[in-house]
Chain A
Amino acid sequence: MTGNDRAVIRNLATGVPGLDAVLGGGLPEYSFNLVAGGPGSGKTTLAHQVMFANATVERPSLYFTVLGEPTLKMLRYQRQFSFFDPSVAGSAIQFINLSQEVMDGDLDEVLQRIIGEVEKTTPGIVVVDSFRTIGDRAAPSGQAATTSLDSFIQRLALHLTSWEVTSFLLGEYAEQEQRSPVFTVADGILWLAQAIDRNSVVRKLQVIKTRGQAQMPGLHTFRITNDGLQIFPRIPERKRPQERLKGKRLSTGVPGMDEIMGGGIIAGDAVILTGPAGSGKSTIVTQFVAEGLRQGETAVVAVFEEYPENYLAQATRRNPMLGEMVRDDKLRIIYLRPLDLSVDEALAAILDAVRELKAMRVVIDSLSGFEVALAPTFRDDFRESLYRLVGTLTATGVTVFMTAEIVDGFSFGRFTSEKVSFLTDEIIIQRYVELEGQLRRVMAVVKMRGSDHSRDFFLYDLTADGVVVGATLQDYHGIITGVPTHREESAKNLPLPGALDRTGTQD
């Protein structure tokens, strides 16, 4: 025997987006799997997706229905999903009802019926829904019945494997029931759950066991849409590229801003721009996107606070080319459903768009809206999740420009309200100041990892064409108080030039 003699275990593509990655590369062929979870957790839909993705006339899928949801109702609902092809029902996908055999309570009869159908049709996939009801009917009480169920599961598993069948037993199990023999025999166990936090429900999947390959550990969120289940793998933190794109700089598209950043944003960096409401955060990131598009790049914008149409309408007022770029799919604006979102779902949507467009610039506008859009259960670990999100995005080489709103527009006590400055390479802050009796906007670059940048505060204006960075405030001090004073005037203890005295007469 050599190492080359070992049996190669092929993996089946499940047809469930995201699930193959969680399973560690797909579903091991001929494996005997348990899909467990509460009512409405998506077990039946998941099984149908796998069947429709793999069934052929030569190797059909057999779906054994037992007591529980009537077959007609199941078909009525399942066929609403886009993956359900009714033309293969009855041929590549065959439904077989075992209710009578199970009601009779004779496990041998149930087993013989399954074996008979398997031998007759030589299926590639077999599903038993709900396996739990078989166990309940077989073992209402007593040790003898449990032994009988043990034997039934062993014989079923052996037979299905011998016939080279990949099988799924679906059942409603509680966590404390994991001592059931089916959990021991199963090669793979998928657990589907619905977590409730306040009024929010989040679906989660866990692969408890997959024999022969390393699954992705942890709880993975998923959503059920018209296309069935979509899993959002909980992607572990990824390492940033060692070489930061050889020091390439990206222009912000904001006149005067590249200069104060030492030549522009460092490509591949994560940048955060924080400021109060109305300070022009969205305008700046839109200019950043528009500049990239002008240079032939592609971009992705994730918005959380308004619908993409509204966002685009605002953006095109200053940058009319953006609408055309959206139509040409050079710019994609992603609107992520608010209030029950997971960070992994957001990451999956952004990553998909980045890959499809080969985007170089990503905007997240804003982190404040993102946090609100999350289901409450994910808000507690927002920083940790955001850390993974930013790390994963920048690991692909894209430049990520995020905005965050701060509540106190006059104080410089904190850079961000999200306490996420640690995860960014570059931090730009915006604030309001009172200057010569006027409310003015100022910005400063606080941090640029590995790069020189201006340390000055700069005035900036929101013009019809966008943000324009103006003069420095070198002649003023006390800017961080929100009420700066001119150095010379301060020295003389005189009011600021142009300021009015108490009597209302000008100097």
Chain B
Amino acid sequence: MARDSMPAMLPETPTPRELARYLIGPETAEDSPGHTAQLATLATFERVYRDLSRWVGSGGCHALFTRALAEARIVHPLLGGVQLQARSQPYLQGTAEIVDTHGGPATAEALEAMLVAMIELLNRLIGADMAATLILKSLPQSTRDAGFPNEKRAEA
């Protein structure tokens, strides 16, 4: 991986970047030939999109990602080729061409920036605590059981 190592445990109040990397973390663990950082990030996007769509609706989720993409493009113009296709699989399209042109590490970094922008946006809209709790729900249960500091168990 070209980027810094992923945090094994999430801090109590993670920054958007820490949260984004924590989300990507499980995908990087995939032990398959040719698995790359950008594929891990793409898989994370698909997972987060599916899960967020469950509670904000596919339309609401698409609106969030569209804004995040616009924000990330300011710093990473290479994302100009990315298209978001609501209610389709895959959700992010056009990334293969970007990898061909700019390389895997640069693409992965840009996609991570987009994920960070989406988390920042969600933080502003509903508060960082609730945003983190809801976003982390997209992680597999095993990952959440391993280190999920934000979830408070309600008393029965």
Contacts and interface: CB of A to CB of B under 8 A. Distances in A.
B130 A75 contact: yes
A90 B137 contact: yes
Contact of B127 (A58, A59, A86, A97): A86
A100 B137 CA distance: 21
A87 B152 contact: yes
B125 interface: yes
B60 A97 contact: yes
Given A70-B56, A97-B55, A99-B57, A87 B129 contact: yes
Q: Is the interface of A mostly helix, strand, loop or mixed?
A: mixed
A87 B151 contact: yes
A72 B58 CA distance: 12
Interface string A87-100: 11111101111111
A325 B126 CA distance: 43
A49 B79 CA distance: 43
B146 interface: no
Interface in A74-89: 75-76, 79, 85-89
Contacts of B137: 90
A148 interface: no
B154 A92 contact: yes
A221 interface: no
A85 B151 CA distance: 11
Interface string B77-103: 000000000010000000000000000
B53 interface: yes
Interface residues of B, number: 26
A98 B56 CA distance: 9
- With most chain A CB atoms within 10 A of its CB, the pick from B152, B153, B154 is B154
B54 interface: yes
Contact of B53 (A55, A76, A85, A97): A97
B129 A86 contact: yes
Nearest to A101: B57
B152 to A, nearest CB: 4
Q: Is the interface of B mostly helix, strand, loop or mixed?
A: helix
Nearest to A87: B152
A79 B127 contact: yes
B56 A72 contact: yes
Interface string A36-63: 0000000000000000000111110000
A89 B54 CA distance: 13
Contacts of B58: 97, 99-100
A97 B57 contact: yes
B126 A79 contact: yes
A96 B58 CA distance: 11
- With most chain A CB atoms within 10 A of its CB, the pick from B53, B56, B57, B153 is B57
A88 B134 CA distance: 9
Contacts of A75: 125-126, 130
Given A97-B53, A97-B57, A99-B59, A90 B133 contact: yes
A56 to B, nearest CB: 5
Contact of A88 (B126, B127, B154, B156): B154
Interface string B32-70: 000000000000000000000111111110001000000
Contact of A56 (B59, B125, B150, B154): B154
A55 B60 contact: no
- With most chain B CB atoms within 10 A of its CB, the pick from A75, A96, A98 is A75
A319 interface: no
B134 A89 contact: yes
> Sorted from nearest, which 4 A-B pairs have the closest CB atoms?
A97-B57, A86-B130, A87-B152, A95-B55
Interface of A: 55-59, 65, 70-72, 75-76, 79, 85-92, 94-100
Given A72-B60, A89-B134, 20 more contacts: A56-B155, A59-B156, A65-B57, A70-B60, A71-B57, A71-B60, A72-B56, A72-B126, A75-B126, A75-B130, A76-B125, A79-B127, A87-B150, A90-B55, A90-B134, A91-B133, A96-B54, A97-B55, A97-B56, A99-B57
